[in-house]
Amino acid sequence: MAETKNNFWMGTLAGAVIIIILDLLVPFFGPIIGGFIAGYIADRDIMNAGKAGLIAGILAGIVVSLVVFAGLVSHPISGYVPAAGTGFFLMVTIILYLAILAFLGGAIAGAVRK
pLDDT tens for 2-12 read 666 678 889 99
User: How many of the other CB atoms lie within 10 Å of CB of 58?
Assistant: 17
The one-letter code for the residue type at 20 is I
Contacts for 25-28: CB closer than 8 Å, 24+ residues apart: 28/101
Nearest residue to 38 (alpha-carbon basis) of 50, 28, 51, 53? 53
- Whether this model's pTM surpasses 0.75: yes
pLDDT (tens digit per residue) in 82-93: 656 666 787 888
Domain that holds residue 80: 2-113
CA–CA distance, 2 with 92 (Å, rounded to integer): 33
Please give the tally of structural domains in the chain.
1
